[in-house]
Structure 1
Amino acid sequence: MINKLEKTREIKVKDFTIGGKQRFTLIAGPCAIESEEMSLEVAKKIKDICDKLEINYIFKSSFDKANRSSIHSYRGVGMEEGLRILEKVKNEIGVPVITDVHEAWQCEKVAKVVDMLQIPAFLCRQTDLIIAAGKTGLPVNVKKGQFLAPWDMKNVVTKMAEIGNPNVLLCERGNVFGYNNFVVDMRGLLEMRKFGVPVVFDATHSVQIPGGLSSCSDGNREYVFPLLKAALSVGVDAIFAEVHPNPDTAPCDGPNMLYLDDLEEVLKVAIKLDDIAKEL
């Protein structure tokens, strides 16, 4: 039996929508904000690629990476400076922006700058955080916890709906499999799609090896492209990928980030698979 891909709810982000059976949206940028100059450079290059390939694009970078292996790990530039840089990227490059929030009090302030909020995977069950994010009225991308089954994310959808914000996206980033390892069950993408909301695949965190370098995380960048292709073949509404000009020098998540110079060729293949999956 061949199952056709069902449409998901369309969620408006700035001047485009995510979902339905449209071409996937790309959510991409460096893991953490390192500087204004680099953020603008990366956002501009990715936007140029996406404009050329007719892909909707959202710039992602975090002002704070609160979930770190070590107290000495790089966390970012902080909220004030981070929001200033994100606002500059938004206005100068002309792309919507998304960033993580870790505590409920951050949501209202961050929502004044960004176009979408993101809930980190470890915090997806934090009810106060989900409610605060939902009350901003912005779309919210909630990463599925590494410890949750895909059908458990129904509760996140319900929480958002009950506070009057149906604009939730669910993001797959792999499940814990033994120690220091993640696996991705592609069936989970289909399970979460049954809730009728857009589903995102996080291609880079899915290959992370948490704590793999003792005081920081390791990763298997070589598996990013194969997993991304598999997810697109199943059918997703957006691809999340952390991208860096030189990942090997990045202060965090370098081993699993994509090289910026490789992105265009990756996306060319991604479009072909997305078209097949969605019969575009």
Structure 2
Amino acid sequence: LAAQYVDVLQIPAFLVRQTDLLVAAAKTGKCVSLKKGQFLSPEAMQFAVQKITDSNNPKVAIIERGNSFGYTDLIVDYRGISTMQQYAPVILDVTHSLQQPNQNSGVTGGRPELIETIAKAGIAVGADGLFIETHPTPERALSDGANMLRLDRLEDLMQKLTRVREAII
């Protein structure tokens, strides 16, 4: 039903191993975006991609969003980007990879001060794209505010990232 209204179907990290869901998404002919589960190795994503492509849909991308590191943090293993690029284009979800889940407060935390660092590193290792969640006032955002980039900082960041990209080409 969603395929009638959207250009990209995104499969959440915790559902990326559900064959029936992946096949159904692929059969719509829409681009399928697969969020890599924080519990999966980069190599494991080849099987999710294969389920899409075996359903005659070559339009698939992988979203890297970090790996569980202890109980309350995520960390990006940049080696995984080139590994997963063997299967599909890889987009680095910069802001979600800076989440700090399972905080003692019961609310997910984040490290937005590291957005520029993570994004530059992603560009430097050749990520095919970046996802950066932004908001005019992250502290008032209804979801994920703890790891968002303030909207007024986006233009400066994009200029820096463009220079990094130009330097590595």
How high is the TM-score relative to the length of structure 2?
A: 0.96
**2:70 is aligned with 1:206:** no
Give, in whole Å, the separation in 2 of the partners of 1:198 and 1:129. 20
Dislocated runs of 4+, deviation >3 Å: none
**2:61 is aligned with 1:159:** no
Range 233-242 or range 209-218, more displaced:
209-218
**Pairing partner for 2:147 from 243, 253, 256:** 256
The AA in structure 2 aligned to 1:141 is S
Give, in whole Å, the separation in 2 of the partners of 1:214 and 1:174. 22
Give, in whole Å, the separation in 1 of the partners of 2:64 and 2:45. 10
Gaps in structure 1 of 5+ consecutive residues: 1-108
Gaps in structure 2 of 5+ consecutive residues: none
Query: Secondary structure of 1:150's partner?
Result: coil
Q: What count of residue pairs does the alignment treat as equivalent?
A: 169
Cα contact 2:71–2:102 (8 A) shared by 1:
no
Give, in whole Å, the separation in 2 of the partners of 1:213 and 1:249. 21
Give, in whole Å, the separation in 2 of the partners of 1:174 and 1:258. 17
Deviations along 1:117-162, whole A, 9 cap, x unmatched?
Answer: 1111121111121111111101111111100110110001110111
Displacement of 1:276 in angstroms is 2.8
How high is the TM-score relative to the length of structure 1?
A: 0.59
**Counterpart mapping for 1:1-280 below 5 A:** 109-195=1-87, 197-212=88-103, 214-277=105-168, 279=169
Structure possessing the higher relative contact order (Cα contacts under 8 Å, 6 or more residues apart) = 1
Give, in whole Å, the separation in 1 of the partners of 2:84 and 2:123. 15
Identity, % of aligned positions: 46
Give, in whole Å, the separation in 1 of the partners of 2:136 and 2:115. 16
